[in-house]
Homo-oligomer: A and B are copies of this chain.
């Protein structure tokens, strides 16, 4: 079997490395990562993952003018931390988040709920804040109860890590604390137009033999008038536009906090660009991925139809293996589109309406398009190719 090199880790000064992202003009990148004014973060090795991995982290906003928003997975079998955030969290006033990696606390029943509540209470007590202002997020294996003694013992050390200069520069350790089998950390810290924004994401599809998870935390000192609307718009254009294997996680969480201390508005498009680049990093790090495809479906009857067709193409293992094999096989795109609209008649779709040449000729980022003749609506989806490494990861490393 031939070797398919994985996408490489980007140099730190090229965060906006995708051709599909409109990078903001004049941004200054910080390395090591700094947090915006009013924020602290940290991470410690508490022993959930073992072998010394940083696996417990927190991010805190101390600003009075705190604003926030959080988006959670729609999976009907959601994990305990998601349920706790859905039901017990003040979404507009999230001061802090506590996150562990190595255990998703999913399918753990009532005990899981109690453990998630205890985690956030532990941090809230250390910080002297209301537990309902602390989000909890977890990622890793499922169906295994958290070792709560280990976790609770780690919280004082975590609180200490948030103090002083360490806490102001702790974005890197927090970023490490949320990783499971990600090949590289997905984060950014930049200043542009007088505001600073930092973000940390993790996710690589389902690399963990149990569940993997997509997590993302964003901090800014900008003023964000409607954080939930801003976050929802940015997520719709980024994390909701990607697929690795079509599998929705039980633990997905995206959270935005703004301290407003810069007194300046968040520049238009910045959040969208940052989240899109982070989303593309997740696709690039997705379970053996070697290339990223972007399929755009236009001429659909409505947005829902465009989305349905684009997703069917992006999740087709035939299209994904064609992307790997650099086979500009437009027939597989036609077949998937025809299946998406099964029972209707969209005629035969040929190369006059399908652009697939980038599969063979394009680089790491291949652009595909299908033009239907049913209306004006369009939608696009980013997806990874399907490689031998996906099977090695998911079949040969058993729990």
Contacts and interface: CB of A to CB of B under 8 A. Distances in A.
Nearest to A77: B338
B395 A327 contact: yes
Nearest to A105: B348
Given A76-B343, A347-B77, A388-B1, A321 B143 contact: no
A14 interface: no
A329 interface: yes
Contact of A338 (B75, B112, B245, B346): B75
A329 B248 contact: no
A396 B77 contact: no
Interface string A328-357: 011110111111111111111111000000
Contact of A335 (B1, B211, B325): B211
A312 B143 CA distance: 20
A25 interface: no
- Interface residue tally on A, bucketed by range: 35 or more
Given A76-B344, A210-B329, A349-B107, A247 B321 contact: no
Nearest to A249: B335
Contact of A329 (B78, B329, B399): B399
A9 to B, nearest CB: 24
B395 A321 contact: yes
A108 interface: yes
A206 to B, nearest CB: 5
B324 A391 contact: yes
A76 B386 contact: no
Given A1-B1, A248-B335, A318-B247, A348 B79 contact: yes
A342 B338 CA distance: 24
Interface string A4-29: 00000000000000000000000000
A32 interface: no
Copies of the chain in the assembly: 2
Contacts of A324: 391, 395
Interface string A98-117: 00000000111100100000
A334 B77 contact: yes
A247 B316 contact: yes
Interface centre among A206, A322, A394, A398 (most CB of B within 10 A): A394
Given A142-B331, A349-B77, A339 B248 contact: yes
A209 interface: yes
Interface of A: 1-2, 74-80, 106-109, 112, 141-143, 206, 209-211, 245-250, 316-318, 321-322, 324-327, 329-332, 334-351, 385-388, 390-392, 394-399
25 contacts: A2-B396, A74-B343, A75-B339, A76-B344, A76-B346, A77-B338, A79-B348, A106-B334, A107-B331, A107-B348, A141-B331, A143-B350, A143-B351, A206-B318, A210-B331, A211-B331, A245-B316, A247-B335, A247-B336, A248-B342, A322-B394, A324-B391, A325-B398, A326-B398, A391-B391
A-B CB proximity, top 9 nearest: A77-B338, A325-B395, A321-B394, A327-B398, A76-B341, A321-B395, A248-B339, A142-B331, A75-B338
